[in-house]
Structure 1
Amino acid sequence: MKYLDNGKELEIHMTYHEWKDLALFYSVESTQKFLEKVYVLNGADEAKRNSFKNSERFIFFLKHAESFYKQASCSPLEIKPILLFYGMSQLIKACLITQDPHYPSHTSVLAHGVTARKRKKQNYCFSDDEVKIQRNGLCMHFMKHLFGQSGIEDERYTMKKLLAAIPELSDIFYFQKKELFIAKIRKDKDLVSIPEDIVIHYKMSDSRFVEYMSHHFQWTFLKKDKDDLQFHLSRQDINPWTSISLLFDMDKRQYYIPSKRDQFLKLPEITIHYLILYNIGMIARYETEWWYELLTQHVSDDYVFIQQFLMVTENKFPKYILKFLQQYV
C-alpha cells in the first residue's frame, strides 16, 4: 500500500479500492442477475421476483454506506465513529438482502439490537465497559442470516475482550500492558497447523485439544507432524470474514488463534466490529463530557485503543463485506 504524507489523504486512499469494487454493483441490471443467482443458490422462493424487488434497495444501501464512509474519512475523530457505525449498518443491510429477500419483514429487526450498560461518571474505563446482545434487532438478525448463529441472546462482552480479538490491535496490548492475546499459526487454504507450544499454553494434552477444537469449531484432526497438530477447517472457518475461530491481520497477512482458550468469542469479526463501534458511537453521541476529555487531554490508554480501532475498522470492514458479496459473483 502506498502511504501518503497527509493523514487525510491516506485515509481516502485506503478506502478507494474497496469502494471501486463495490461500485460494480451500482447497476440495476447486473444487481438483479446477481441477487437472482444468490436466491437460487440459497433455495429462496420467487428468486426472479425478489431480485427485481430488491435490486434498487441493494444499490441504495451500498451507496448510502459509501457516503458515510467517505465522509468519515475526512471528518474529525469527534464524529468519525458515528459516521462509520451508520455506514457499517448500511453495508450489513445490503448483505442481509442477499440472504433474507424480505428484510425487513417486521419493525423489531430495525433497532440496533445491542445495549450498553449505564456509565459511571467517575473512574470509567472504556476497556472494562460492556455491551449486551438483545434478542431482537439488527445484530441477532444479521448473525442468524449471514453466519447461521443463534443462541447468544443476552450475552455480554467487555470492550477489552472484543478488542483483543482484532489482531491489528495486538501491538497496543503488548506495548501498554505487556499482554499477548493471540498466537501465530500457519494456514494453507482449508488446512491449519497449530504449534505444540500453543497446546501446552492451553494446558491441554494433544488429544484434549483435538477434542476441544472438534467439538467447538468442527475442525477435523488430520495428523501430528513434528511439533504441529494439523487440522482440516470447517467450512465457516476457511474465510476470515466468516470465521469464528481464526483471527486474521490484514496488514501482516497472518493468521492467529487466541492465546488462551477462554478468549475464544465464537463471533465473526464483522460482529465484533459492530459491537465495538456501536459502543464508541453511543459514547460519542451521549457521553460528550467524557468523550471530549479523552480526545483533547489523552488522559488514559483508552484513547489509543479507540483511535487505532477506528483506523482498522474504516479500512477492514468494507473489505470483509466486499469479500462476503464476491463469494457469489
Structure 2
Amino acid sequence: MMHHSHLLFSYLQSQDHARGFLQKCYQNQQIIDDKRWSYQNSERFFYYIKHGLLYYETGNQSPMVIKPLLYYYGMIHLIKACLLTKIPTYPSSTALLAHGLSTRKQKKQQYQLLQDEVKIQQKGLFPYFSAKLFTSTPFTNNKITIDRLLKSIPELDHLFIFSGKQPNFIFVSELANSKLVFPNDILDSYHITQQQFIKKLASYVQVVEVTNHDDQFTCALKQPISAVESNPFYFDEQLDKVYFPLKREIPFHTHEIMHHFMLLYHFSMLARYESEWWGDLMHTQQSGDYAIVKEFLTITATKVPSYLEYYLNMVQQTLRIGD
C-alpha cells in the first residue's frame, strides 16, 4: 500500500543513508566495486530525490498553467534516482539524457488535444527507463494518442463515464490478494473464449486454478500481482485495488508510470511552446479538455512520487531477502 508521508524518501535524504542503500542495491546485484560505486553515486542519488520532491512540492503550490513543467522535471529526477539503484554507470552516454519522446511542433488551427500524439524515440530517457525499470519495450507502434494515454489512468475513468463513454476498467482484486475475479462479459469485450483469455493472462501471471460461477469466473494465482512490473493490470493511487482493462486500446505491455511520463512531457511542451492555446485552455476553462487535464494533474502529483517510492521499497525488500 502506498502512503503520501514518503517515509523512505525522508530516510534517503541523508547522504549516509543514501550511500548505505545504494551499496546494498549494488551488493544484491553482485556489482563489482559496490563500495566505490555507492560512494561515487550517493550524492547524486540524494539530490535526485531531494530536488525531485522539491519540484513536486513547488508544483503543488503553483498555478495550474505551470504545474506540468514542475511535475515533469520532478518525475525525471525521481526516475533517475531509481535508475541509479540498478545501473551505477548511469548515464553512460549523453544520448540517455534526451527526453526520448517528441511531439508535433506546429499545432494545427483546429487543434484537438485528445487526438494529438506523442512519438517515441529509439534513444533517450523514456525508452531507457522503460526497459531498465519495467522491462518494457514501449508500444509496437512508435506513437500513441493523448486520448489513449488518458484512458489508461484508472482514476480518470469516472470522467469518461460522465461524458457518456463506456468504462475503461473493471475492478478485479485487492493487491495483496492472489485471486482475480472477472465478469463473463469481459470475454465479449475481447471477442475471445475463456480458454484464450486465461492463456493471454498466463503470459503475465501464473494461474493455478480457474473456478466458474454464474456470471463470473475466478483465477487463483500462484502469487499476488506485482505493481512494479509491466503487465495488463492497473492500480489505484493507494495501490490497494487492482483493475483490468475492458478495451483493447488500453496498453497491455507497458507500465502506468510510462503513461504519466508521456502525458507530462506532452503537457509541459504545450505549456512551453503553445502559450496561447495552453493559456486559453487554463484561463477560459470552457473546453471539455480542461476538466480532464486538471484531474490528471491532481492525480499525477501524488501517484507518481508514491509509485516511485514504492518501487524503491520493493528494491529494499528484495535486499532484505538477500541479506
Q: Taking structure 1 as reference, are residues 88 and 60 closer, same or farther at Cα in structure 2, changes over 3 Å only?
A: same
Q: Taking structure 1 as reference, are residues 142 and 292 closer, same or farther at Cα in structure 2, changes over 3 Å only?
A: same
Q: Which has the higher contact order (CA 8 A, sep 6+)?
A: 2
Superposition pairs of residues 162-241 of structure 1, within 5 angstroms: 162-187=149-174, 188-215=176-203, 217-226=204-213, 227-232=216-221, 238-241=225-228
For the residues of structure 2 that align with 1:286 and 1:44, how far apart are their CA atoms? 43
TM-score (norm 2): 0.89
- Moved segments of 4+, more than 6 Å: none
What is aligned with 1:156?
143
Conservation of the 8 A alpha-carbon contact between 2:127 and 2:138 = no
Conservation of the 8 A alpha-carbon contact between 1:284 and 1:291 = yes
Report the secondary structure of 1:260's partner residue.
coil
**Post-superposition offset of 1:177:** 3.4
What amino acid maps onto 1:31 in structure 2?
A: A
Q: Taking structure 1 as reference, are residues 55 and 154 closer, same or farther at Cα in structure 2, changes over 3 Å only?
A: farther
What is aligned with 1:5?
none
What is aligned with 1:55?
42
Q: How many residues of Structure 1 are paired with residues of Structure 2 in the alignment?
A: 312
For the residues of structure 2 that align with 1:179 and 1:194, how far apart are their CA atoms? 17
What amino acid maps onto 2:168 in structure 1?
A: F
Conservation of the 8 A alpha-carbon contact between 1:159 and 1:276 = yes
What is aligned with 2:304?
317
**Post-superposition offset of 1:45:** 2.3
Q: Taking structure 1 as reference, are residues 151 and 75 closer, same or farther at Cα in structure 2, changes over 3 Å only?
A: closer
For the residues of structure 2 that align with 1:252 and 1:148, how far apart are their CA atoms? 20
Aligned counterpart for 1:76 among listed residues 47, 63, 81: 63
**Post-superposition offset of 1:30:** 1.8
2:146 is the alignment partner of 1:146: no
For the residues of structure 1 that align with 2:21 and 2:43, how far apart are their CA atoms? 12
**Post-superposition offset of 1:158:** 0.7
Conservation of the 8 A alpha-carbon contact between 1:192 and 1:230 = yes
What amino acid maps onto 1:184 in structure 2?
A: F
Q: Taking structure 1 as reference, are residues 118 and 265 closer, same or farther at Cα in structure 2, changes over 3 Å only?
A: farther
Q: Taking structure 1 as reference, are residues 232 and 155 closer, same or farther at Cα in structure 2, changes over 3 Å only?
A: farther
RMSD: 2.2
What is aligned with 1:45?
32
For the residues of structure 1 that align with 2:36 and 2:124, how far apart are their CA atoms? 26
Conservation of the 8 A alpha-carbon contact between 1:245 and 1:264 = yes
Conservation of the 8 A alpha-carbon contact between 1:114 and 1:131 = yes
Conservation of the 8 A alpha-carbon contact between 1:27 and 1:59 = yes
**Post-superposition offset of 1:202:** 2.1
What amino acid maps onto 1:232 in structure 2?
A: L
For the residues of structure 2 that align with 1:279 and 1:224, how far apart are their CA atoms? 43
Gaps of 5+ in 2: 317-323
Per-residue displacement from partner, 1:133-185 (whole Å, max 9, x unpaired)?
A: 11110011111111122364762111111111111000111112332111221
Gaps of 5+ in 1: 1-14
Which stretch has the larger CA shift, 138-147 or 101-110?
138-147
TM-score (norm 1): 0.88
Report the secondary structure of 1:78's partner residue.
helix
Superposition pairs of residues 3-152 of structure 1, within 5 angstroms: 17-18=5-6, 20-150=7-137, 152=139
